Chains A and B, each alone.
Chain A
Amino acid sequence: MNRSVFIKALSNPLALAGFVIIVLVFLLSIFSPFIAPYDPNDINVKSILLEPSMQHWMGTDGLGRDVLSRMLHGGRISLLVGLVAVGISTAIGIVLGAIAGFYRGWIDTFIMRLVDVMLSIPSFFLILAVIAFLTPSIINIMIVIGLTSWMGVTRLVRAEFLSLNEREFVTASRTLGARDARLIFTHLLPNSLTPIIVSAVLGVAGAVLMESGLSFLGLGVQAPQASWGNILTDGKEYIQFAWWLSLFPGLAILITVLGYNLLGEGLRDALDPRSGNDN
């Protein structure tokens, strides 16, 4: 079932475009040490703020570093943060959602109220506060973004569990004496997997945006480590003299996030029975 949804989604040109973008960005990030023409942290006083040219395709920054090389290395960081943060939030969401949806009763009420409380705290404020009180680092950003964005997945998994629980095959399995763990891991969870994947793909888009925003504010990835967000901080600094410092990292963020959004929405459409075709 999973595979057919995926194939159906990729027959949609927008989703296919998203998938291609994701794969390309992924490959560029993984192989960045081999592709990057310069050392991303190589300071060169003779080549400060050079315009894009054949030597430096995306120009150089205020310390004479090659922007293309920094972009390629920054891409790795952005993707790493995005994927790990979503991994954390999805894991929390699955566990809490499964408990709430399977056991119901007071534990369900408690978890759902926790979700409500978390949702009513302006999330960017929450993240900013936590990150600033811990010292900003890549690991802390991943953890904090993960810990503050599990609420959607929790609701989703709970809803899936609640509706699956009413289905005949689950009732049948229960009647046959299946234990809770068996019901959860062989019936409920596998059947909820596709919507979870959709929400995770869309979640990566959100996490990449969040990381770039935090790094832009100086509370994310710290110099000299490059990230798309902190290259943009330099871009703001030099906005009167060096447009290329602002243009390229922003485009990279836009294209990457667009890729995840396109694929995620394509998958969601393919899942939605109302979108027609077979199911």
Chain B
Amino acid sequence: MLKYLIKRVLWMIPMLIGISLISFFIMHLAPGDITSNEAAFNPKASEESRQKLREMYNLDKPVIVQYGLWLKRMVTLDFGKSFASHQKPVFWQTADNDGNVTKGLIQEALPITLMINLLGLAITLILAIPLGIIAARKYLGWQDRSITLFNFIGFSIPGFWLSLLLMYWLGVVNNWFPISGLHSLNYESLDSWGKLKDSLSHLFLPVVIPSITGLAGITLFVKNGMLDVLQQDYITTARAKGLNKHKVVYTHALRNALLPLITIIGLSIPGLIGGSVIAETIFAIPGMGKLFYDAVLMRDFPVVMGILTIGSALTLVGNLLADVAYAWADPRVRRGVARD
């Protein structure tokens, strides 16, 4: 197991280099000087100060040298400072000489996005697992057919359209939920119960909508897993022994059918970090998606690079965790790994 772990971790190094290469060259293949927009934000910027900027970010050096310097900074987790947002650090907080701490942009945005998406994933799983089981047990019955139809719609519906409709219906027509931001304007004046209620009502739409669109895939996955497992010999044996149906389905079959879910959850990690650009923009949530979108619009080069790299690195870590969790949960894989 340990050997396998070390191998998997070492394997991440070339992957990370590949990711940084791809993202770095994409940024540089695009036409347009990064400094021209920085100048646009500050009309007083002279040619001299632009030159300074180019030197600061090594834009005057050959691309290969720039990449080397970027890679060196990446290893030390130094992603530089934002061009646009008042020179805030991209990744993590820094302190200046007077001890004033400036928080990093990603440091502020990531927890918000993670919280929203983890809540959403939890809701998805809570709904998808029972739906998948029902569809498998009533395979080809009307329950299964309705769930299948629902899945097709779930796969095809544009998430941002669903957001708009629900925003209109729940937020505008009925005014049940606030439609933007994380808090109300009077948030600070509320007591702690009021604060909780305020936060939850702001979170409702941004959390529920992505979980509805994510439901289809996981339901289908659980259903197919169950169908496969229910055909196995040991299920027939359990039935033949005269165990009651519920026990067979919920203890024998379910555990094995849910195992591959670990992999699916691992694969959904890039979505947890990055799939929220549209939702966060619509609901004005200051998370990673909105940060990235704003950075892209302003050509805030260090922020774009930082998010691409950190997002991809977190994805790799997520996949690693999923594989390890799978190996830990499934004795067949665990033993196979041990022999390796």
Contacts and interface: CB of A to CB of B under 8 A. Distances in A.
Q: Do A and B come from one complex?
A: yes
B150 to A, nearest CB: 12
A31 interface: no
B152 A209 contact: no
A130 B25 CA distance: 10
A246 B161 contact: yes
A212 B275 CA distance: 15
A91 interface: no
A246 B164 contact: yes
Given A117-B15, A217-B281, A261-B152, A124 B164 contact: no
B interface bracket (residues with beta carbon within 8 Å of A): 35 or more
Contact of A262 (B152, B168, B292, B316): B152
Given A120-B312, A120-B315, A243-B168, A113 B14 contact: yes
A207 to B, nearest CB: 13
Given A129-B308, A265-B152, A121 B23 contact: yes
Interface stretch (B83-91, B243-251, B293-301): B293-301
B160 interface: yes
Contacts of A240: 172
B307 A125 contact: yes
B12 to A, nearest CB: 10
A46 B144 CA distance: 51
Interface residues of A, number: 43
Contacts of A262: 152
Interface string B159-176: 111101101100010000
Given A126-B23, A250-B164, A254-B161, 17 more contacts: A120-B316, A121-B19, A123-B270, A124-B275, A126-B26, A126-B308, A129-B296, A132-B297, A133-B26, A134-B31, A213-B158, A239-B172, A246-B164, A254-B153, A254-B158, A257-B156, A257-B157
Interface of B: 14-15, 18-19, 22-23, 26-27, 30-32, 148, 152-153, 155-162, 164-165, 167-168, 172, 270-271, 273-275, 277-278, 281-282, 292-293, 296-297, 299, 304, 307-308, 311-312, 315-316, 319
